[in-house]
Structure 1
Amino acid sequence: MRRKLVTIIAAITIATGCLAQRRNVIQHKPYIDLRPMHFGISVGMNLQDIEFKTDPPIVCDEDRWNAGFSVGVLADMRLSSNLNLRITPSMHFGAKHLRLLNLADLDAEGKPKSEIQDMKNTYLAVPVDLKFSSQRWNNIRPYILAGVSPMINLTNKNQEIIQLNRTDLMVEVGLGCDLYLPFFKLIPELKFCYGLGNRIDKSHVADLKDENKKMYANSIKSGHTKMIVLTFYFE
């Protein structure tokens, strides 16, 4: 019994010592989150996608992911100890690679006839998010966020088949972690964005001269944009 008691006391002592060591890590930037406003810059990458609804026998999909580049600035307002309002104006450079298939028109090998379209996009976005953070643990502080992001496409020139509207509005949710370093705060963040409305510009069909391409364009009933953004903020 005495040996068990000694073992338990020793285990508690060791665990307490380990916990104390973890809590005694040097706290970098201990007061940075107390400021009412702070600013930063961001760099990252994005993956753009679009979800189509079509009339048969035409189907359309983005057949591969093209990684794009993102850059922006950050303004963060402290609302409470765990809640912040963030505005992060950003530029997203990327592209969508679309493949349209006519399932009713097969070639000699039995494969459907297809059309390819590379849709390049440069979005100017102004996301407005609420950021809810957990309590800081040493130099780490995880968080989740949600908000809306109005966007405008700065390279919305005439496309070969499918044309998107110039503006978009996305809802976004994400998660990240504040990492407190000696000279600045680094924040990796993963965000998922989904467009709220149909972004297909149906008036574009009248401008097409190729009847085959016009057939494909007429079959597209709706398209909702999607985007995944991995961002690194520096504050």
Structure 2
Amino acid sequence: MKRLFFLLAVLLFVQSAQAQLFNKERLANRETFDQRFLTWGYFLGFNSYDFKFDYKNENPDDRTDILVEGDVGFNVGLVGDMRVNNYVNLRLEPGLYYTQRNLRFPGFEEEKDFLREVKSTYIHIPLLVKISTKRLNNFKPFIVGGISTSWNLSSNEGNPQDNSGGEFRMTKGTSYYEIGFGIDFYLYYFKFTPSIRGVFATSDELVRDEDPNSPWTGNVSQMSTRGIFINFTFQ
């Protein structure tokens, strides 16, 4: 699914860029848009979240890996952009992100033991630095990176039940770093921006079971989120 997202994004960027670059008409849309100190907008998009597990026992003969099955989620949010100069902008993009991941733990026979459905609704707030090229006709490529934090509204961190009672627990707050790229397209009425970003958690999100030798969490040293965001921004 991640490869499909990446391929679709690349095809979209290439086709749109070619249409703009080789179009004989050079009428510039929204000529003064990038001269504004502050601009606002909103975004819609898709996400694919995953987990990266690190294990205490790294011997492949002795450990069993947890299988993560990701699904496609959706994003919606706002954009605040501050111009630093012609090539650098600071962006704040608070949004609501919904996703689901299914975890399969080997060594169990019954579904109530080996399957955990992890549904998450995040309030995600990234602070990003956007570095752009010079505007070419009506489009402008850029790269973007920064740091972010999120609050998991579906977190059950405080639940006294753990996996022995069927509850897989995660922390409420997570921190990340992000990196990606995109293209600004200057249309007649607004600026349209497709972009793709990779998101990598820097904190451990697993709340461990009471039993230190738990077959679900006992061998996990760290569980951290990885994800891909594809957003379509309108300003």
Pairwise CA distance, 1:58: 3.1
Instruction: List structure 1 segments (4+ residues) > 6 angstroms apart after TM superposition.
Output: none
Matches within 5 A, 1:37-48: 37-48=38-49
1:173 partner letter: I
Instruction: Say if 2:92 is the partner of 1:87.
Output: yes
Residues 1:60 and 2:75 are matched in the alignment: no
Please give the secondary structure, in 2, of the residue aligned with 1:33: helix
| Aligned counterpart, 2:103 | 98
RMSD over aligned CA atoms reads 2.4
1:70 pairs with 63, 66, 75, which one? 75
Letter in 1 for 2:234: F
- Number of equivalent positions: 201
User: What secondary structure is seen at the aligned counterpart in 2 of 1:59?
Assistant: coil
Equivalence map 1:192-207=2 (5 Å):
192-202=198-208, 205-206=209-210
Uncovered stretches (5+) of structure 2, i.e. residues with no partner: 1-21
Aligned equivalents of 2:89, 2:42: Cα separation in 1? 17
- State how far apart, in whole Å, the 2-side matches of 1:87 and 1:142 are: 19
Unmatched runs of 5 consecutive residues or more in structure 1:
1-20, 108-113
Are 1:32 and 2:33 an aligned pair?
yes
TM-score normalised over the length of structure 2 = 0.79
Residue 23 and residue 128 in structure 1: after superposition, are their counterparts in 2 closer, same or farther (change >3 A)? farther
Aligned position for 2:228: 228
Equivalent position to 1:171, from 171, 174, 177: 177
Larger Rg: 1
Q: What secondary structure, in the 3-state scheme, does the structure 1 residue paired with 2:217 have?
A: helix
**Could you say which structure has the higher helix fraction?**
1
Q: Secondary structure at the match of 1:127?
A: strand
CA distance in 1, matches of 2:134, 2:193: 15
* 2: CA distance, partners of 1:80 / 1:67: 36
- Percent identity over paired residues: 25
CA shift for structure 1 position 222: 1.1
2:17 matched residue in structure 1:
none
The one-character-per-residue Cα deviations of 1:26-85 (angstroms, maximum 9, x if unpaired) are: 1110000000000000000000000112344332120x3200010000000000000000
Q: TM-score, normalised by structure 1?
A: 0.79
